[in-house]
Amino acid sequence: MYEWNAWELYAIREWRPNAYRIGALPHDEVADVLDRVTPDTTDFLVHLNLSRQAMFPKQRSELFAALRERGIRILNADVCDITKKHVQAECQRLGLPSTAATRGGDPDEKLILKSECNHGGLKERLLDSDTRIRLGLPPESAVLDGNLDYPVMTRSELTDHWDDDGLAIERLIENRKGLYYRAYLLQDRIVISRFVQSDSANPVQRIKGARSRDNFHYLECSRLVQSPDTDDDLSPRLKSIVASFVDGIQLDFGAMDVVEDDDDNFYVIDLNITPYWGSPGQPEMTAFLRGE
């Protein structure tokens, strides 16, 4: 695990407990990283808690080439941008439903204002301004202050919000059943968790406050693209969209949040390639993702 600010209590430590850590820094040199890779290494996971990381380290492509010469497989090699706008752009590129909002449209439509960076950009704030610029990270929003209870406004209420490069403005997707989903992937094994939201009026629902949870395990995520009609009560469209997104961006490990509307449409709204896990829980799910 080539890791930056994503070690204790993170999911990969539960699902790959025998992995070892190489602490990462933005200015790492290729030779320094290679010197710390043991001879019996088979897989190299990029585990950097940043929303953009194509320039971390600066010689990223050279590092990957050197690792491949040693016969080491790189996980998430092609996934280096999880900003909100990029995730929605990828959905559009893959022909999947997107929540991206535009200035024009129904003035009464509800829109949600999110940080462009993952988790409110809290980890990005640990870096100095010069490093942020070098890594191409979005600026801090002038509207949000790191609070994760993102505001909801109608389109008519927005003014210069559209010009805030630290903001991602999306259509608010809701359903009467109060359902939302998180999918967890480790190589081709995937678990889709279905949650029922709490009674809170807050449109931003958190897993910690969910009323109930059901987990659905699938051995081969790639098969769900064309054959999503498995013997369970999850929507085939949901499984197909999740699997198509995973396949389309070449994701090896991570978690994604999915919401649905009342017409059986599903939207990927968040991608996290360093998912947090917290105190050990969900033992059956953990055993499945470990391949036990």
Per DSSP, the residues of 17-74 read: TT---EE--TT--HHHHHHTS-TT--EEEEEE--SB-TTSSTTHHHHHHHHHHTTPEE
Asked if pLDDT for residue 193 goes beyond 80, the answer is yes
Question: Rounded to 10 degrees, what is the CA torsion of 103, 105, 106, 107?
Answer: 30
Average pLDDT over residues 246-254: 98
Mean pLDDT value of segment 52-77: 96
What's residue 235's pLDDT?
Answer: 95
Tell me how long the chain is: 292
Residue 282 tokens, joined? 């969900």
**Of residues 275 and 120, more confidently modeled:** 275
Predicted pLDDT at 279:
85
| Single-letter amino acid code for the residue at 16 | R
Mean pLDDT value of segment 6-31: 95
pTM over 0.75: yes
Distance CA 77, CA 264 (A): 33
Averaged over 173-179, what is the pLDDT? Answer: 93
pLDDT tens digits, residue range 121-144? 999 999 999 999 999 999 999 888
* pLDDT(62) > 80: yes
Cα distances (angstroms) measured from residue 49 to each of 56, 103, 159: 11, 31, 32
For 84-100, what is each residue's pLDDT tens digit? Answer: 999 999 999 999 999 99
Mean pLDDT of the region 158-184: 95
State the Cα–Cα distance between residues 271 and 254, nearest whole angstrom: 7
pLDDT at 63: 97
215: left (phi over 0), alpha (psi -120 to 50) or beta: beta
Least confident of 200-209, 252-261, 276-285: 200-209
Q: How confident is the model at residue 200 (pLDDT cuts 50, 70, 90)?
A: low
pLDDT digits (tens, 9 = 90+) for 155-168: 999 999 999 999 99
222 vs 188: CA distance, rounded Å: 7
Domains of the chain as residue ranges with CATH: 2-75 (no CATH), 84-96+175-272 (3.30.470.20), 110-171 (no CATH)
